[in-house]
Every structure is written in C-alpha cells, then in structure tokens.
Structure 1
Amino acid sequence: MPTQMGPRRTRFPTALGIALIGVGAAWWSFAVTAMQVLKPAYPSIGLLGLVSTEGQAAAAANLATPEATTADRLKGRNMALAVLRREPGNVVAARTLGVIAGAEGRESDFIRWLAYGESLSRRDSATEFALIEERVAAGDVSGALLHYNRAMQVSVDARDTLLPILIPATGDMSVAKGLASFLRRRPLWWPHFVQALNGGGTNPATMRLMLKALHLRLQEPSEAAALGDGLQRMIALGDHDGAFAFYRTFRKAPPSLLRDGDFNRTDSFGPFEWSLNSEGGGSSTLQERTDGSGLALFVSAGDTDTDVAWQTLLLPSRNYQLAGRLVAEAASSPPMTVRIQCAATGIELARLTSVPSDTEGTPLKTQFHVPENCRLSKILISVAAAAEGQAAGWVDDIALTRL
C-alpha cells in the first residue's frame, strides 16, 4: 500500500470532487464537480463507535468531505488505515485515503490509493470518477476514456452523470477517436451514449466517426432509428451533404433525387427516406393496391390538415418536374396533396393535388424551379381535414426528374 508523503502540489482542488481543470481544447468538459460525483449520504460521525468495517469505512469517508478540517482528515486517515488492516479489500477505505491524500497535496499517494481501490473493485463509481479527474489533469485522453468506460459499464447512474459532460467533448477529434475504439466493441453503455450524442453532438465529422464504429444494423429497428436520428442531427448542424454521403454508405443504391417514390420499401429509416405518420386521425400506411401493382401509400384524414408522410431532399438549383398518382377513394374524399417545400424559407416550390372525381389515378405533373438557398428541401404528403379516420385514397409513383 502507498506510504505517506510530505505535502505536495494539490491536484484534487475540492478534495472530494472532480474539479474543473483546463487541459486544452474540449478537455474541460471531462471535469465533474464534487457534489455530482461524491455526494453519497454517508452515516454520521456517530458511526465512529461501530465495530463493522463497513460502518467505520463510511464514517472515515464522512471525515474526508471538502469541509473537513486537518484534524478531521487525520482522524479519517487513521480510521481508513485501521479498516484496511482488518479488511484489505475495502474499496471505500482505499478511496478515502486517496481523497485525503489529494486534499493534502500528496499526489503520488493520491494516485496510488485510487489505483489500489480500483484494483479491489471497478464497481465503485466514485473511485472511477476520481481516476478520470487524475487522467484529465495529466492530459491523457485515452486514460480518461478508459475510466469513463469502466464507470459507465457497471453503473447506469454513472452514465447519467458522465454523458452530459462527455458529449460536448466529442466534438474534439482526439476524443472521438478514443471513444471509437471502445464503441467498436459495443459496450453496455453504447445505446445511452448514442441517444445523448444524437441529441447534443456538436461536430458532424466526429459523429460520423463514432456512429460508423458501432456498425449499426439497418435490420435492427432500434439501431436503424438511432442512425436516422444521427443523420437528422448532422442535418440540423448544417452538414447536409456529409449526412447524405454517410447515409449512402448504408444504402448502397445509386444516388437519386427521391428515394422509394413507388413506396415498395417497408424498412425506411432516417430523414432521407419516407417517414410515415401512422397513428392518429390523419395517417398513412403501406398497403397493397387493389390492381395488384404493388404497395402504395393509403391515406386517412383527421379533423385537421395533416402531413402524413415526408422525406428530406437535396436539390441543386435548377428546374425539375414533379409527377405522381393521387387516387381519391371517392368523389367525397378529402383532397390529398404532394408538395415540395424549401427548408430554409418554408416557401412551397411545387404542389400536386388530388382531384376528387378522379378515382382511376390519372398521373399528375408540375414543373418548378429550386433557387440557390433551397438545396435542402422536403417533400410532404398531406390530407385535408375531414371526418376522423375517413379514407382519402392512395398515393403512388412519385417521381422527381431534372429538366
């Protein structure tokens, strides 16, 4: 076990906490405050009279709080040493000695006691948090991430504490590369990480690196949804072309202006494929056409005008033709529309509207121009308000062509 040393420069600024330490771009994000990571409700000092090692270890830790006096720390150190003499495998006592050493500037003892505690158990989150702080202070990205991984592997609560700190740091490529090496092995915490990344990622390039490392499988609905959310985040961050190129590494088909205009895919995912509103009054579902010509999008109305399907498009500035079949269920059916809308301005660029008297499906066409600032656009299928659940008809054979 570590021996005591004279006072040295303190690397544990708040004694019990993971303090905010600036060690270069994005590294401050790894720091954690004392109240976040080491605030268990330890038993009161009255436990000093207990004979159990568990009680004595907890009481010793209670004497190592940020408010502890020098006398308290001395008493806590002696108690923790006594616990370890009786029970050498007590991780709380080992961690307490490390905390006290850090508060007193005995840096080598601080590191060695924490390492000893970790050798006893990797399930003590507070020990892992302290080791994260120590590696951050040393500027060791891979070492800090190793302890992030260990903490999050064994504790869901640790994930809740650490991910909000880790996600902003993933914008740094060195951090992202380090995380990718863990993500390739699909650790237990990866779903929580991806959910947090898709909600708060800041760098599309590092997001692609980390999502690629996971080898997400489109045949698994939850993984396809996670990838789709990641693509949507990249678009929101302004990397439209990068998101589309990454999407195409999963869908190997040649690039096209519109995906699945004939509605034959039943495994669509993400913003570059159809999203369907399949619940509620205004909704859409994929069903077989009565003429045996494959699937089509069948639309039902709600009590308000509703978008029932949509897809993100990347359209260079030029002229196009939009075509499609919008087949009314009956002459009294609510009208359906297919429209293209500029994402930047919300301006409608093109529209097709079903004709209530047309129950045979005469193809509709319209020409339109995409201005420079509307490269990112959306195609939306909607239905007008009507009686809840009233069948509107079906849509099929949507096509976009350059002119």
Structure 2
Amino acid sequence: MAKRGALARRPVGEWGVRLALAAVATGIAYGSISRSTAYMLRGKAPEQAYALAPEDGRIGAILSEKLSGAEADSAERNRSDMLARQALRHDPTAVSAVATLGINAQIRENTAAARRIFAYADKLSRRDLRTRLWAIEDAVARNDIAGALRNYDTALRTSRVAADLLFPVLASAITNSDIRSDLIRLLGTRPIWGDHFVTYLAVNGPDTRATASVLATLRSRGMNLPEGTEALLIPRLLAAGQTDDAWTYYRSMRRGVDRQMSRDANFEANLTLPSPFDWTPITDSGISTTIQHGENSGLVDISVPPNLGGPLLRQTQVLSPGNYVIEGHSIAVEGPNSDYFYWTLTCGDGRELGRVPVPASSRQGGRFTGQITVPTACPVQQFMLVAKPTDQMSGLTGQIDFVRLRPAGR
C-alpha cells in the first residue's frame, strides 16, 4: 500500500515526461521497422518500399531506375527525374539515381548533358552497370573501339550479370577486324572474365571463322586456352560446311598431322576432350570402349555384351578422292568368324565406302589390312571401328593397339 501511495504522489509533470518518452520510443521503433521492411522490399516492390521510407536515398534511387526503363513514357520519366534528385538530396552517393538522370537526358537527345551526368556517375562508382552500358554505347557512337572495350572490361569485372548481357554482343562484334584485333589484345592481358568469354565464344560465337581467328591468334601469342575449348569449335566449323577451315585450325593445334592419313596410329594422345579429328570412343547401351595409355603407346580396349553391336571408335577424315589402305593389329580378339569387328569408312551422307574385317588375333599374328576407295563428292568421311551383334554368351572383347588409314603406295 505504501508503494502504491508513493506512485500516486508522483507529480503530474513527471508522468507527462514519461509518456512523451514512451511515444518517442514507439515512434523510433516504428520507424526502424518501417525502414527495415522497406529495405527488404526495395528489389521486388520499390513503390511499396518508397512509401514506407521516402527519405531513404537508396530506395528512391531504385524506384527512379525502375521508372526510367526503356518502355517509360514522358510522365514516368519526369517522375523518375524527381525521385532521382530527391534521392541525391538524401544520399549524394546514390549512383543509380545519377544514372537515371543521365539516361533520361540521353532519351531526350541531350547528349551533352548525359555525358556530364555520366562523368559524375563514373566518379562516384565504376560498378554501376547502367553507367557502363551507356559508356559503351557512347564510345561506339564515337567509333572509339578502345574506349568501348575498356568499358566492357570494367563492366565484366564489376558486375555479376554483365556477362549475360555483354558476351553475346561482344561475340557478334568480332566480325569487325578492328574490334577483333583490339579484343585479342585485351584478352592477352588475361582479364578475370577472359577464359569464360573464350569458352562462350567457342560454343556460341555466331561467326565461326572469326571465332577461329581469335582463338588461333591467342594461342599463337602464347595464351593457354581453357582446356577443351578448341575441340568445341571444330565440330561447329564442320557443321557449318567449313571443312578446310576446320582442318586448318586442327593442324594449328596438332603440329605435323597429315590430311591424307588418319592420326595417332598407336593411340598415344591423352586428351580430356578430343576433337572430331581425334579418336573418339563411343560408349552406348552397355558397349564399353576405352583408350588406355602406356608409357610409349596405348591401345583400345573393347567390351561388347551379347546381341549388341554398333560403332565403337570414330575419327573424322578429310581425305582427297583416291585409293587408301587400312592396316592394323589386334590383341585378344577371339571368335569363330573373322568379322565380328571391322573397320569402315563412310561419307558424310552415310554411304559406306567399304569394310576391312578384324580377324581373330590368333590368325595372321593379329594383323589385318585392306583397301578402300574414296570417290569424288565425299569431302568428309568417318573412319570407324564397328562390332557386329553376336549371340555368344561372353559377348565380344579385344584390343586394338595399332591402326592406320593411309594412301595406297605410301
């Protein structure tokens, strides 16, 4: 009771102070919650975020950016200008608000104002993607290739989404020889995005000849290209009908190869990702074909389940018309028939030009040989090892440690 009496005797003024402090505390808490909620909403719902925290320059800048998009009408651009200026009053470092003002100036064809505004944006931050994109466009308009590529480099170094936007444009631009030369010089400095772009170019570059020029020049200047990149380009050149370009590029990769002969007769090459001109094992439906490497040579190990058959190993050729010899040696190939395995050469349209059977290894010391003729109108061929289906319970097994396709008389 004494305690309650003491409370009752507190001055009215003191209670007023306490209530005022409580109201301020509540207001602060509400404001903090509103700002936190607004910041969480800023990406998905900038209008709602701005309504909750109009004094937050970062949120105002985001909303101004949204309203200044490519489809914005005049009213939206005017409002985005107002929001951008308001955002900068609250936060002078809000670079996206500056970029909004610059884009709106450019849309209104006030290029001089846009350049002044974006120069300021560039001083604030080199990480704003819209500033970099505008700078690229402005450099291109002035035919400043070096300046455009500098901004490409900056954007790709500083933005996680820039590659998705800029790689397709850059890959298309290499058809211009001046751009190609400057880009090669830039890639030679090994920017952090360089390997990613080179791989993208090999797989997606719209002009395969220009792509081959870029990759070959980089390699000739001592740049180690991402593993397998070049092997990805060759099938694209072949698919585009650029057979000579495909072979020329391959020859630059593998010194000493002969267009009139198959390659790697002893299966010595140890390639993570072979090109079509290299040996390519075909493993499908339980068939196992592997190239095993020793110290000085290798061999092809084959295992085919019963009642299955088909291609086991392939190498693309670009032979001239004429007569050729297929010769080789097998190990541990057994069976009552001599043609469970055979080598064949086919044209690109599927025509089979002939077969050379692989007899049991116990016969002829495991050696096999035969002749085949390449006709005219057959510029690309497939040299393949094939297995016939067998009902033997053990299936088919064996090894090939040497095979060569060469012109007759050589």
**Same fold, TM exceeding 0.5?**
yes
2:199 alignment partner AA: Q
Query: Residues 180-191 of structure 1: matches in 2 within 5 Å?
Result: 180-191=184-195
Q: Does 1:240 align with 2:246?
A: no
Aligned residue for 1:88, secondary structure, equals coil
Contact 2:359 2:368 survives alignment (8 Å):
no
Equivalent of residue 323 in structure 2, options 305, 319, 325: 319
Give unpaired runs (5+ residues) of structure 1.
Answer: 1-39
* 1:86-109, Cα deviation, whole Å (9 max, x unpaired): 533321111111111112221112
Tell whether 2:98 aligns with 1:94: yes
Q: Once the 2 structures are TM-superposed, how far is the Cα of residue 301 of structure 1 from its aligned partner?
A: 1.3
The aligned runs of 1:58-69 (5 Å cut-off) are: 58-66=62-70, 68-69=72-73
Q: Structure 1 residue 275 and structure 2 residue 280: aligned?
A: yes
Contact 1:322/1:350 (<8 A) preserved: no
Instruction: Answer yes or no: is 1:47 the counterpart of 2:64.
Output: no
Structure 1 contact 349–370 (Cα < 8 Å) conserved: yes
1:147 aligns with 2:151: yes
The CA deviation string for residues 300-348 of structure 1, in whole angstroms up to 9 with x for no partner, is 11564232221121211111111122445332799222211112x2211
Q: Do 1:229 and 1:270's aligned partners in 2 also have CA atoms closer than 8 Å?
A: yes
Choose from 136, 139, 146 the match for 2:140: 136
Deviates more, 1:225-234 or 1:134-143: 134-143
- The question of 1:249 aligning with 2:277 is answered no
Aligned 8 A contact 2:330 2:361 in 1 = no
What is the CA distance between 1:258 and its match in structure 2?
Answer: 1.3
Q: Which amino acid aligns with 1:226?
A: T
Kindly tell me the number of residue pairs found equivalent between the two proteins: 360
TM-superposed deviation, 1:75: 4.0
TM-score (norm: length of structure 2): 0.76
SS of 2:132's partner is helix
Q: CA RMSD in A?
A: 3.4
User: Equivalent residue for 1:110?
Assistant: 114
Identity %: 27
Given that 1:326 and 1:363 are in contact with CA atoms closer than 8 Å, whether structure 2 keeps it comes out as: yes
Q: CA–CA distance in 1 between the matches of 2:115 and 2:190?
A: 29
Aligned counterpart, 1:338 = 343
Give how far 1:71 is off.
4.9
Larger RCO of the pair (alpha carbons < 8 Å, separation 6+): 1
3-state DSSP class of the match of 2:266?
A: coil
Q: Deviation digits for residues 325-381 of structure 1, max 9, x if unmatched?
A: 2445332799222211112x2211232222357467532221122122223212112
Change (3 A) 1:90 1:304: farther
Q: Which residue of 2 aligns with 1:8?
A: none
* Counterparts in 2 of 1:249 and 1:141: CA distance versus 1, 3 Å: same
Which of 296, 299, 307 lines up with 1:296 in the alignment? Answer: 299
Identify unmatched segments of 5+ residues in structure 2.
Answer: 1-42
Structure 1 residue aligned with 2:181, among 177, 187, 192?
177
Larger radius of gyration: 2
